[in-house]
Amino acid sequence: MSMQNKAQMVEAVLFFNERGVCKQMLFPEFEALLDNVVNMPEFADQQMRMAYVLINPRLMVRAAVFFYLDFDESGAADKGWNLPLRHLADNAGRGPDLGAGPIRLACRSQCPVSWHQMHLWDPSLAPGKNDLAVIRDVVKRNALGLLAEEETAVMLPERLQVAAEDKWQAPDAARDEADKQTERKEQEHRLKTAQLIKQQRLRISTLGKQYEEEQARFKLAAEERQRSLQTEIHNLHQALRQQEELNASLKEQLGAQADGIQQTREELARQLRDLERHGRTEADILRSQFDAELQARVAAAVAEFKEQVAIRDVELAYRAEQETQLQNELERLKRERDDLASQGGEQILERLAKLGVVFVVYHPGAGHLTIPLQDIARYQNNPLSYAAAKCFVSEEQYRQWLAHYQQPTCESSLPSGERCAMPIDRVETPSRFVVGESNCCARHKAGARLRTVS
């Protein structure tokens, strides 16, 4: 085979949808897509799951990077996309064996460059839906028409050697073959065991992230439901107070009317006494008229107020029943929240730690820190102190460096009393940060040196 036709390592890009691989192309075609030379209307306004793969001359996958790519309404690729796929593939960790030894695998749970982690996704390793197995089979079918290298072993005649006649006796072939088979089986068993452990660790990491996201979603829903119930209870309390105030007002009105009736009765009694002086018959007539009118007015007023009080009593009973139901619902939600909190505490952390899950946080200057289970409480009490210890600086120096890192400007004061705020170079490492030097511009830094010399 000539050098021009010799098969080389090939870069390719695969597109994924719900059914598996839906499109594949060579890397030069993918670069043309990124340069917007060509568009893909079938992926318009979508975020596609994609995989960058390195394929050896025997059509076997040697590296894989699982990443996202956004397309706009016209099917053009995101112009701001700039993942270094080959760099990620070259520096990725070990993954499963797809036929040519363990591959280099870069995904969300195993990313060699932490700030690119959010742009990657985790492949499914579930039985029957293994994305790595799908990639292996797709590449083996060679739909891209890659130049494959045939596995042929040619033995040249001049390399053959004939043993001397006194050494033509057959060796112990059965014993040698048994030793080779035993060694080969042990090697295969070790490789399969390592591959299985790698897959299980990756799957455990993925499940742990999914569990944390689901727990946060449940907690947020419970808090929102609790806030809505608290608001509704508050509104019911306000309505109850308004009803009580209205009832008090009605009682006052009823008392005032009763006083008015009493005064009217007293006035009529006085008139009756005056009439009695003029004649018994006229007094009897007036008394009967007075009693009839008084009874009618009292009966009408009492009936009206009884009806109003009955209506208010029914409304108050309904409000009280609603408040009781809402209070029971609130107590149930609180119990569910406490149950979720009790399930998501130290027991879950300890169980996840026993399964091999590690807890990773990110702090500027320290990068991604792996926190052992026994350090979780110390980290929760003071995250900045924990990060400062990992950077080998004091907490105060780390806080000063963090303020400089977030806003790299001169912190010296001008003669007017205002801050200089001149942009300066950012110090990326806390241990190299020096107060009065790293957080000052060249003019104030030089001024500080002159004052020191003098």
DSSP state, residue 413: B
The predicted-structure confidence for 245-297, as pLDDT tens digits, reads as follows 999 999 999 999 988 899 999 999 888 887 777 776 776 777 888 888 899 99
Quote the CA–CA distance of 353 and 275 in Å, as a whole number.
Answer: 103
Instruction: Specify if 248 maps to a domain.
Output: yes
| CB burial of residue 120 (10 Å; 0-12, 13-18, 19+) | buried
Instruction: Specify if 449 maps to a domain.
Output: yes
Residues 372 and 338 in one domain: no
State residue 22's pLDDT score.
93
State residue 451's pLDDT score.
57
DSSP state, residue 143: T
Residues 6+ away with beta carbon under 8 Å from 279 = none
Count the alpha carbons within 13 Å of 415 in the hemisphere toward its beta carbon.
1
State which of 308, 343, 378 marks the end of a domain: 343
Instruction: Specify if 258 maps to a domain.
Output: yes
**Amino acid of residue 316:** L
- Cβ pair 51, 16 in contact under 8 A: yes
Quote the CA–CA distance of 174 and 200 in Å, as a whole number.
Answer: 38
Quote the CA–CA distance of 281 and 286 in Å, as a whole number.
Answer: 9
Token pair belonging to 51: 């995989």
State residue 450's pLDDT score.
56
State how many domains the chain has.
3
For residues 2-17, average pLDDT? 74
Residues 254 and 383 in one domain: no
Residues 10 and 122 in one domain: yes
At 44, give phi and psi (nearest 5°).
-60, 135
Instruction: Specify if 103 maps to a domain.
Output: yes
Residues 19 and 147 in one domain: yes
Residues 22 and 124 in one domain: yes
Residues 119 and 256 in one domain: no
Residues 6+ away with beta carbon under 8 Å from 121 = 49, 66, 67, 68, 107, 108
Instruction: Specify if 387 maps to a domain.
Output: yes
* Residue in the structure block whose two tokens are 């009832």: 247
Residues 6+ away with beta carbon under 8 Å from 116 = 83, 84, 88
Residue 7 has pLDDT above 70, yes or no: no
Instruction: Specify if 211 maps to a domain.
Output: no
Residues 330 and 377 in one domain: no
The end-to-end CA distance of the chain, in Å, is 78
State which of 99, 120, 151 marks the end of a domain: 151
Beta bridge partners of 64: 53, 105
For residues 368-388, average pLDDT? 87
Quote the CA–CA distance of 370 and 430 in Å, as a whole number.
Answer: 19
Q: How confident is the model at residue 449 (pLDDT cuts 50, 70, 90)?
A: low
Instruction: Specify if 21 maps to a domain.
Output: yes
Residues 79 and 22 in one domain: yes
Residues 125 and 30 in one domain: yes
For residues 355-381, average pLDDT? 85
Residues 313 and 381 in one domain: no
Instruction: Report pTM.
Output: 0.39
Residues 134 and 41 in one domain: yes
Query: Residue 12's domain spans which residues?
Result: 1-151
Instruction: Specify if 275 maps to a domain.
Output: no
Residues 6+ away with beta carbon under 8 Å from 122 = 66, 107, 108, 109, 202, 205, 206
State residue 272's pLDDT score.
83
Q: 354-360: long-range contacts at Cβ-Cβ below 8 A with a sequence spacing of 24 or more?
A: 355/204, 356/200, 356/201, 356/204, 357/204, 357/205, 357/208
The predicted-structure confidence for 40-82, as pLDDT tens digits, reads as follows 999 999 999 999 999 999 999 999 999 999 999 999 999 999 9
Q: How confident is the model at residue 105 (pLDDT cuts 50, 70, 90)?
A: very high
State residue 150's pLDDT score.
65
Quote the CA–CA distance of 272 and 293 in Å, as a whole number.
Answer: 14
| Residue 51 burial (CB count, 10 A) | 25
State residue 236's pLDDT score.
94
Token pair belonging to 252: 């006052």
The predicted-structure confidence for 391-402, as pLDDT tens digits, reads as follows 999 989 899 898
The predicted-structure confidence for 119-173, as pLDDT tens digits, reads as follows 999 998 888 888 999 999 999 999 888 887 765 444 444 444 444 444 444 455 7
State which of 151, 183, 201 marks the end of a domain: 151
Residues 109 and 236 in one domain: no
- Cβ pair 116, 213 in contact under 8 A: no
